[in-house]
Structure formats: C-alpha cells, structure tokens
Amino acid sequence: MAAYENFFNAVGLKDWCSAGGDGGGGMTSMADLIAQTDGTTTQGPSLWNWPFPSLDALNKACGAIPPSRDVTQGLEDGFLAIRGGLRAIVDPLTQPLSWALRDMLWIMTNTPWWLMVPILMLITWLVTRSWRLVVFVLVSIAFLAFINHYEAAMQTLAIIFVCAFICVLFGVPIGIAMSRSDRLQRTVIPILDMLQTLPPFVYLIPLIFLFSVTEPKLYGIAIILYAIVPVVRLTDLGIRLVDPDVIEAADAFGMTKRQKLFGVQIPLALPNIMAGVNQTIMMSLAMVVIASLVSAPGLGVLVLRGIRSLELGTGLVAGFGIVIIAILLDRVTKASLARIDTSKSRK
C-alpha cells in the first residue's frame, strides 16, 4: 500500500484518485500481489522511513496527481511549442554575433604567424607600455607554436576577443543605468544572481534547441551570458562608490548629468570597470573550454579529446596552454589597470 493512500481515502478522494489514473498505485509490487493472494494487506512504511510528499510519492497513492516526469515533459513541450517563434525573434538579433566570430576566427587563423605575433605584441605595448609583458607575450605564443598549438590558441583568443568585447559593449551601459536607478538595480540584480549561479553546462541546454550546433552564435551566446555579470556589477559598484563630495563639486560648477557621468563618474570608476573587464575575460576563457562541447574551436577541443579518448598527454598539454593564455590575459589587463591608476595619481 502506498504511504499516502489512507490519507486520500480518509478525506474522501478515493474515487477521484481512482478515476485519475490506474487506481492510485501504478504497478502493483510483488509484495502486494502475495499479500492479496493470502488475503492480507501490506503495511505502510514505518515513521522512520516515511517518504516526503513529493509528486512521485503522491502519485503512487493517487493516480490523479501527475508524477514529476509529467512536469519536466510539460516544460519541454512548452519550450518546443514556442521555439519557432522565439527563434524567429532571436535569430536575426544574434546573427551579427555569428558573423563576428567567423570573421575573427578567419583573421586570427589565416594571418601569417610572422604578422600576427608582432600585432599582438604591439597591442600589448599600447595597452600596458611594459616591455616585460611584450616579451612575455612573445615567449608564450612561441611556446604554444612550438608544441603545435598555435592555431588552437589563436582560435581561443579570437573567441575571447569577440565575446569579451560584446560583454563590455553591453555590460558597461547596463551597469551605468543600474547606478543611476535604484529600481532598475533591484530588477537586474536577481537576473545577475541567476546568471552567476547557474552551472555553465545549463546555459547550453536551451541554446542547443534554438540553434544548430554548427552556428557560432550557439557557443557565443553561452559565453556572453556567463561572462557579462562581473563587468555589469563592478561598473554599477564603481560609479556608486564615487565620492559624494566630488559630485557636489561638479554640481557647484554647474555640470549637467551627462557631463558629470563622462567627465567625473566614469573616469573615477574606471579602475572598478577595468577589474570587471578582467574578470569577464577570465570567465570567458573558462566558458570557452566548456563550449567546446558544442563545436567551439580552440584549445578546449583538445582538452575534450583528451577526456573522451583518455589521451592524458593531449589533455594536459592543452590545459597548460589554457593556463598560459589565462596568465597572459590577466597580466595584460592588470597592467593596463595599473597604468590607469598611475596616470590618475599623476594628475
């Protein structure tokens, strides 16, 4: 006998439960069959082993109550019902992301190494003004090329450049808007909390149903959703932490809201914003590896191959390459942040 069958009988729902399913028990157990042939009934579970009133436990006692699998199936059916309309709206909006990823991947992988490496070194110098980091970039890329991981490393960098740029492009304005409206902040914070706490694999589930695995936007959207949170949060925090006395001084000079934002608040909040950019880049790199499950190229593919084929060396070398790229990007962004702090202190 199901644990809750006596309860439904006592409240007069026996007929309702019997009409709703197979009589409130699903498949009869062997113990119940033996008890019925002996003219006895099996006793319910002891108080110590009493089951929680979950959908499955209640369904065993009352067939009118749906089991948990019906709930999950309903969610899936509902999503599939709106998939066509949702794709018709989202697909044109996200198509530029596919174009950007394809173009950047083509540029990074088809540009000769003797031209791409100096370009990356020049970008590092312009951002950091540090010869040590320029040499570090050269040595890192040379090492990756020496172990035949140059193309995979360029693919990983291409994806990070595009996704991190889009995160900053949308994340900074969202953070600025949050800092100027407490109501908007209260609305956006729960969304950011959800995006930050969802396991990375969960981002891929609805996107797989929406887009083809061959479309770059599939892994691009997943990376952006996962990595955009830090830059939004720290932009909002940085602007809110601007000294109120500075704001009062700006008001005394008759500055408009726009002038205060671009002339006072954003420059003073720039260290926090750059810290958010740094964290966004690191989270993009972490998600690139997971996105290799859905055709994202790069070093993550080699890590995945090492796991699937039990190729220990392949997985470890690719993982070490990812560590090198992470250190490289972290040092460059932190050096640019230190340069910003130094220039501000000189002023």
Confidence check: pLDDT of 284 > 90: yes
**Tokens (6 digits) for 288:** 């690139």
Residue 173: pLDDT over 70: yes
Question: Cα(103)–Cα(163) distance, rounded to whole angstroms?
Answer: 13
- pLDDT at residue 37, rounded to an integer: 55
How many other β-carbons are positioned within 10 Å of the β-carbon of residue 317?
Answer: 18
Q: What pLDDT is recorded for position 14?
A: 80
Q: Is the distance from CB of 1 to CB of 44 less than 8 angstroms?
A: yes
Percent of the chain scoring above 90 in pLDDT: 64
What pLDDT is recorded for position 43?
Answer: 61
Average of per-residue pLDDT values in the chain? 88
- Residue 175 has a CB neighbour count (10 Å cut-off) of 28
204-226 mean pLDDT: 92
Domains of the chain, with CATH numbers? Answer: 5-66 (no CATH), 82-346 (1.10.3720.10)
CB atoms within 10 A of CB 253: 10
Q: For 53-120, give the DSSP string.
A: --HHHHHHH-TTSPPHHHHHHHHHHHHHHHHHHHHHHHHHHHHHHHHHHHHHHHHHHHS-HHHHHHHH
**pLDDT band at residue 168 under the 50/70/90 scheme:** very high
Q: What is the pLDDT of residues 114-155, one digit of tens each?
A: 999 999 999 999 999 899 999 999 999 999 999 999 999 999
Structure pTM?
A: 0.85
Distance CA 12, CA 29 (A): 25
- Rounded to whole angstroms, how far apart are CA atoms 15 and 27? 18
Mean pLDDT of 259-286: 92
Rounded to the nearest 10 degrees, the angle between the axes of helix 200-210 and helix 216-240 is 130
Report the pLDDT value the prediction gives residue 151, as an integer from 0 to 100. 96
pLDDT confidence tier of residue 46, bands split at 50, 70 and 90: confident
Q: What residue has token string 């899936």?
A: 76
Predicted local confidence at residue 42, as pLDDT: 53
The reported pLDDT for the residue numbered 184 is 96
Predicted pLDDT at 51: 84
What's the pLDDT at 24? 44
H helices of 129-149, in order, are 131-146
CA distance linking residue 307 with residue 314, whole number of Å: 9
Instruction: Provide the pLDDT for residue 2.
Output: 60
Please state, in angstroms and as integers, the Cα–Cα distance from residue 126 to each residue in 120, 266, 331, 339, following that order.
Answer: 10, 21, 14, 11
Q: Identify the pLDDT of residue 38.
A: 53
Across 142-151, 176-185, 252-261, least confident range: 252-261
pLDDT the model gives residue 26: 46
The more confidently predicted of residues 15 and 195 is: 195
